[in-house]
Amino acid sequence: MVNFQRSRSDMVDRYKRGGYIQTKRMEEAVLTVPREEFMDPRFRDHAYIDRPFPIPGDGRQTISAPYMYPVSYEPLGFEPGMKVLEIGAGSGYGAALAKELVGDEGIVVAVEINKETHAFAKRNLKRAGYDVTLILGDGSMGYPKLAPYDVVSVTASTPDIPPPLLDQLKMGGRLIAPVGGRSLEGQDLLLIHKTEEGLTRRSLMKVVYVPLLGKYGFPE
């Protein structure tokens, strides 16, 4: 039987040595969230292996490799009390980590377009005890009802940053998204900072994500 707590601790040590986890807040969040509770039951024992795994949906959805969460989240500078928008709830694991990072006083909104994946995330978050606003809808349109957001995290590849997400990003806020085509060469993981002078863009690394669907995503 897998010792999940030990596996989680070993993963965190590995990611600290590799430079993926850089802050104490991130370390504590990854140590706290039980990733095994967000896996498809068929792959539960592999929760702490460094690779993505399928989750319920239309056959394209995955729970990303675990290191991609600190890689994407550390540059966003999460602080307690922040309001976070996640596009592509997937398994719900990313939203749970975000909730740990912003604390009880923070708000996490996650939008998922696939009904089966949305239901999977909802079950996982409820079982693990995370209070997240989970929306079934077109993530490329964001969620204007609770805007503006301090942080926006897009977890699906997009041809460009959807304009509604930039509109809903708070001045001074940060957005991260895999931007580019659907080729095997992948996308650029772009960090966007919204300032009074305009948007700054910085490419962090090459990544490969499933495509964002919806009005400002890729066509079906």
| Domains in the chain, CATH or no CATH each | 4-207 (3.40.50.150)
> What's the rounded Cα separation, in Å, for the pair 110 and 167?
17
Q: For residue 45, which amino acid is it?
A: D
Catalytic site positions = 64
pLDDT tens for the chain, 220 residues long, are 899 999 999 999 999 999 999 999 999 999 999 999 999 999 999 999 999 999 999 888 999 999 999 999 999 999 999 999 999 999 999 999 999 999 999 999 999 999 999 999 999 999 999 999 999 999 999 999 999 999 999 999 999 999 999 999 999 999 999 999 776 678 999 999 999 999 999 999 999 898 999 999 888 7
Q: Which residues are within 8 A (CB) of 159 and not within 5 positions of it... i.e. 6 or more apart?
A: 179, 180, 181, 217, 218
